[in-house]
Amino acid sequence: MNQRFNPKRRLSYRILRWVLAIALLSGIALSAGQIVVDARRVSDGLDQQAKQTLALVRDAATQAIYSIDDDLGRQVIEGLFEQRAMHGASIEHPDGTVLAEKRGELRPSSYRSITDPIFEAQREYRIPLQRAGGDRTIYGYLNIHYDTAYAARDWLERATLTLLTGLARALVLALVLFLVFHLLLTRPLLRIIRSVSDVDPEAPGDHLLDKPQGHRDDELGVWVNATNNLLTSITESQERHAEAKERINRLSRYDKLTGLPNREMLMGMLRNAIHEHRRAGQHVAIYCCGIDDFKSINEQYGYHIGDGLLQVLAERISQDSAHGPVLAARLGSDQFVVVEQNLRDGYQCASTCDWLLYQISRPVRLGDMEVGVSATVGIALYPDDAEHTEQLLQRAEQTMTLAKTAGRNHYQFYVAQVDEEIRERKRLEKDLMRALPDNQLHLVYQPQINLGSRRIVGAEALLRWTHPTLGMVPPDRFIPLAELNGSIVEIGRWVLEEACRQAAEWAAAEMPLHIAINLSAVQLRQGDIVETILNVLKAYDIPPGRLELEVTETSFMENLDSAVEKLNQLKREGVNVAVDDFGTGYSSLTYLKRLPVQHLKIDKQFVQDLLINDDDTRIANTIIDLGRSLNLDVIAEGVETEEQEFYLHSRGCQMAQGYYFAKPLPADDFVRFYASFHHKAVASASVNPTNDT
C-alpha cells in the first residue's frame, strides 16, 4: 500500500521547526545574558570614572572652598566640564551656599526610552571636602552629575551586535542539527516506510524489509530486524491456528466473568463424581445457589458492580468448606452450583449450606461501596433424589426455585413432592390459557369509602377465576403465572373493558363511581398500553377522571423512565394513578416524586394489626403523613374493625376499603349494597346534621 504524507506533517519538518525554535530561544537567552553582563560592566564603569574624577579635583576644590576663592572654584568646575558626559557640577558650603556651579543639558537621544530605565538618565555623585592631615573638618561638598547617554549609546550598539550575532549562530547551528537529523533519522525512516508499504498482507513473510545503509547495528537496524521477525511470526502463526482453536474450545468450558466451570464442564465433573461414588456407595450433594433479587443490584448500582459482586462470590464459594474441598461452577446470570463429595449424612449438607449462606451474605466492598446480598439454596442428593446427572441438577434447580417462593436467605432439601408441584403448576398454567375463552374469569367489586362523608366514592375491580375442577383459584396463585407466560396482557385488556363497561352501566343508573383496576408490570411494559386504555375509555364513554390505575412499586421499578413517561401521558389525559401496596416494595421518595401519583394505598398487612402491632401502626401513620405532605390521598386496604376505621379517619386517612364495609361483591350485589349503604349514610346525616362531609 502507498502511504502519502502531508508535507507539513512530516517528521523532518517537525524536527526542523523544533530545532529552529529551541536554537533561536537558546540564542536569545545566551545573548540576553551577555547583554545583561555588559550593562553591569558599563554601570560599574560609570561609577569608577566618577570616583576617579572626584579624586582628581578634590584638593583644588577643597582649597577653593577653604579660601572662599570664587575664581578657583569656577576653574575647577570648568575643568570638570572638559568631560563630555558631565551634565552638572557644583561646590557648596556645608550650609548649602554655592561657591561655584555649572549646569548643562541632557543629550537628546531616541534610545533614552530603552537605556534610561537601565542606567538612569543621569547619575549624581557627592564627596565631602576636607583638608589633608589630621583635620577632619568638612568645609564643603563637591557634587557632579553624569549624563549616561554616551555610555548607554555604546552599550546599545554592542547589545544589538551581540543579539544579532547570537541569532545568526543559533540559526546556523539549527540548520546543521536538522541536516544531521535528516541524514541519520528521517531519510532512513522514509525508506523503511516505503519498504513496509510494499509488504503483501496476505503473505507478509515473502517480502522482508531492507536495512538502511549505515544503520545495520543501531536502533533502526534493530527495529528492521524486529519487524522482519514479526512478519515471519505472522506467517508461522497460520500453522499454529488449529492449536489455538483447540485452546479456545477448552477455554469455552469456563465462565468468562468468574473463571468457574460452566454448565457443560459441570456436567462432566458431576458424571465423574457420581461414577466414583457409585462404586464406593457414598453420597454426593448438589447445591444450587440463586442470588436473591440480583436484578435490583444491577439496577441500583450498575452492571459493573453486579459483575464485580459475582466475581467475589465465585471466589468465596470456591474455597474449601469446613468439611473439605468443594467443586463450584456458574450456571449463568445469578446462579451458582456447588458439588460436595464424600458425604456422611444430611446433617453435613445442612452445615455446608450454612457455610454457603454465610459466605454469600458477607458484605462485599467494591471501591467505595459496600454491597450486601443473600442467596437461596436448593439441595439434591445422590443417590437418594436422583441417580442421573441431568436429573440430579434439574431437581436441585427446581428445589431452589420453589424455595425462593417461600422467602430468602435459606435452604431447602429436595422432596418427592417437588415433581408433582412443578407438574401441577404447569397444568394450572395450561388451564389458565383457556380461562378467558371459556368464560371462567369474572370481576368482583370492593367498595371504596370516603371516611369523611361516609359515602361510596368508587370500587376496585378484582379478578377471580373459577376453575371447572379446582373451584376458586386464589389470585396470588394464578396472576404470577399469567405474568410469566404473557397471558396477563390479554387478561388485563379484558379486565379493563369489563370494568369500564360496568362503570358505564352504573353511571347510567345514577351511580357515577370511580373504578380502580390493577395494572401489572407486564402490561406497563407494552408499547401500546396508553393507546389501549384511552381507546377503551372512549369506547364506553367513560371520563378519564373516573378511571384509576393501581400500580405496585415493583412494577414500574423495572423500567422507571418508560413507566414514568407512559403514566404521565395518561395523567395528561385525566386518568388517575395510585401506588398499590405502598410500603411493601422499594418505598423510595425519589421515584414517588417523579411519578404522576394521586393516591397511596396502605397495604392490608399494615392495617390488619393496626393498634396491636406498634411497628405496623407507625408504618401506617408514616404513610398517611407522607401522603399529606405530598398532597396525595391515602386509601387504607383491609379495614376489618370499627376501631381501625375510626383510628384511620382520626389520623387523616381519606378513604378505606375492607371487610368492615363489604367484601368484594359481584356487580348486582354491589348495586344493592350501594343503595343500602347510601340509605344508611343519609339516615345518619339526618340524625347528626353536624357530621363531617
pLDDT band at 335 (very low <50, low <70, confident <90, very high): very high
Range ranked top by mean pLDDT from 70-74, 184-188, 407-411, 419-423: 70-74
- Show the cell assigned to 137: 573638618
Q: What is the pLDDT of residue 489?
A: 92
The better pLDDT of the pair 279, 655 is held by 655
pLDDT tens readout for residues 343-368? 866 667 877 888 899 999 988 888 88
> Is the predicted pLDDT of residue 194 greater than 80, yes or no?
no
Domains of the chain, residue spans: 11-103+114-162, 253-415, 427-667
Q: What is the pLDDT of residue 663?
A: 94
Percent of the chain exceeding pLDDT 90 equals: 30
Architecture of domain 11-103+114-162: 2-Layer Sandwich (3.30)
> Is the predicted pLDDT of residue 370 greater than 90, yes or no?
no
| 378 bridge partner residues | 288, 412
pLDDT band at 515 (very low <50, low <70, confident <90, very high): very high
pLDDT band at 282 (very low <50, low <70, confident <90, very high): confident
Mean pLDDT across the chain = 84
Q: What is the pLDDT of residue 693?
A: 32
353 vs 213: CA distance, rounded Å: 73
pLDDT tens readout for residues 204-256? 766 676 766 666 666 666 777 777 777 777 777 766 776 767 767 666 788 88
Instruction: Tell me the average pLDDT across 497-514.
Output: 93
280 vs 383: CA distance, rounded Å: 12
Lowest mean per-residue pLDDT among 54-58, 373-377, 415-419: 415-419
Range ranked top by mean pLDDT from 68-72, 587-591, 676-680: 68-72
pLDDT tens readout for residues 447-488? 999 998 889 999 999 999 999 999 999 998 898 888 877 889
> Is the predicted pLDDT of residue 197 greater than 50, yes or no?
yes
DSSP assignment of 415-479: -THHHHHHHHHHHHHHHHHHHTTTT-EEEEEEEEEETTTTEEEEEEEEEEEEETTTEEEPHHHHH
> Is the predicted pLDDT of residue 500 greater than 50, yes or no?
yes
Beta strands in 29-170 (DSSP E): 86-92, 98-103, 122-129, 140-147
Percent of the chain exceeding pLDDT 70 equals: 87
The better pLDDT of the pair 425, 566 is held by 566
Q: What is the pLDDT of residue 2?
A: 45
Instruction: Tell me the average pLDDT across 96-122.
Output: 86
CATH of domain 427-667: 3.20.20.450
Instruction: Tell me the average pLDDT across 53-63.
Output: 87
> Is the predicted pLDDT of residue 6 greater than 70, yes or no?
no
119 in Cβ contact with 113 (< 8 Å): no
| Among 342, 429, 434, residue whose Cα is nearest residue 382 | 342
CA distances 265 to 181, 189, 268, 377, 385, Å, are: 60, 52, 5, 21, 22
> Is the predicted pLDDT of residue 3 greater than 50, yes or no?
no
Beta strands in 528-641 (DSSP E): 547-552, 576-582, 599-602, 633-636
> Is the predicted pLDDT of residue 435 greater than 80, yes or no?
yes
Instruction: Tell me the average pLDDT across 663-692.
Output: 76
| 413 bridge partner residues | 379
133 vs 18: CA distance, rounded Å: 69
Lowest mean per-residue pLDDT among 227-231, 297-301, 435-439, 586-590: 586-590
Q: How much helix, strand and coil, in percent to the nearest 5, is found in the chain?
A: 55, 20, 25
Q: What is the pLDDT of residue 557?
A: 63
CATH of domain 253-415: 3.30.70.270
> Is the predicted pLDDT of residue 331 greater than 50, yes or no?
yes
For the purposes of burial, counting CB atoms within 10 Å of the CB of 615, is it exposed (0-12), middle (13-18) or buried (19 or more)?
Answer: exposed
Q: What is the pLDDT of residue 691?
A: 44
The 3-state DSSP class for residue 569 equals helix
